[in-house]
Amino acid sequence: GGYESASKHFNPADVEVDVAGRSFLVTGANSGIGKAAAKEIARRGGTVHLVCRNKERAEVAKEEIVTETGNQNIFLHIVDLSNPKEIWKFAEKFQNEHKLNVLINNAGCMVNNREITEDGLEKNFATNTLGTYIMTTALVPLLEKAADARVITVSSGGMLVQKLNISDLQSGNGTFDGTMVYAQNKRQQVVMTEQWAKAHRNIHFSVMHPGWADTPAVRSSMPDFYERMKNSLRTEAQGADTVLWLAVSAEATKLPSGLFFQDRQPVPTHLPLAYTHSPPEDEEKLMEVLEEFSQKFKSVSPG
């Protein structure tokens, strides 16, 4: 019932806005929270770029969004966010062809066994952390040119149990626990957001916890949790509400850049007495390591 009680304090007018002429990019947009957010933005007249991995499912999602909203300005891009070379290639092409006001980093995965991609990267890290890092940093130059530019990253309250661990980014040590690896990736997204907010003052960065929503991702990667909780999970639209609010409302950007949100409110990124704070040098080191990784996969394209 968290959403019901929180939403009593929402101002509906915050999201009753016309965003025609503004361009939004949503990753992982063919289901769940990504699709729900894309649909709501489309309803408000925004141009929406859906970035998805699976072409068939993405086409169905695009069709549904166009049909339900009547908005024809919905574009599809097929990109595997666990593949850093593909993200670079996409971002470079996108910059030449489109403008961008708002980036929504929603794509994520929770793989419960240690899986290595063709680039030698652990799959969760490749998608949730490095993929988000490359997509964002590659598109920053385009966002820098836009009015009221924003970047929203969909994290998870699960990150509250994790302290940033930069010594084992690819979870190669000890027993592999997919849920904890995911939570660590989500902590990394919070740190990245805080660091980006310091580095890029004219873009508004935020990161958020959607609450636990009934999405295909939760059903497939956390089946036991889903069985226990299915009657009290949020709908996809409820999970996407704060994403939408951060993406379109004027209220969101009145708050400082770099904050962590739940139910349209900034909330702490650490639980009391949880010892999950990191020294600043660890947070800077994370950014350095991600930058090294990202450059390694950036091909020098001719011209």
* Strands of 92-184, DSSP E: 102-105, 149-154
Structure tokens that stand for 298 in this block: 């950036």
125: helix, coil or strand? helix
Our CA angle for 28, 224, 272, nearest 5°, is 80
Q: Which amino acid is at 71?
A: N
- Integer angstrom CA distances of residue 205 from 21, 166, 190, 234: 21, 22, 10, 25
Concatenate the DSSP letters of all residues of 189-237 into one string. Answer: HHHHHHHHHHH-TTEEEEEE---SB--HHHHHH-HHHHHHHTTTPBPHH
Q: Which amino acid is at 49?
A: H
Q: At a CB cut-off of 8 Å and minimum separation 6, what does 45 contact?
A: 18, 19, 20, 21, 71
Q: 269: alpha, beta or left, given left = phi > 0 and alpha = psi -120 to 50?
A: alpha
Q: Which of 197, 108, 194 is nearest to 158 (CA)?
A: 108
Q: Which of 81, 82, 28 is nearest to 58 (CA)?
A: 28
Q: Which of 51, 36, 44 is nearest to 69 (CA)?
A: 44
Q: Which amino acid is at 281?
A: E
Q: Which amino acid is at 167?
A: S
31 phi and psi, to 5 degrees? -160, 175
Interatomic CA distance for residues 283 and 243, integer angstroms: 25
Q: Catalytic annotation on 182?
A: yes
Catalytic residues: 182
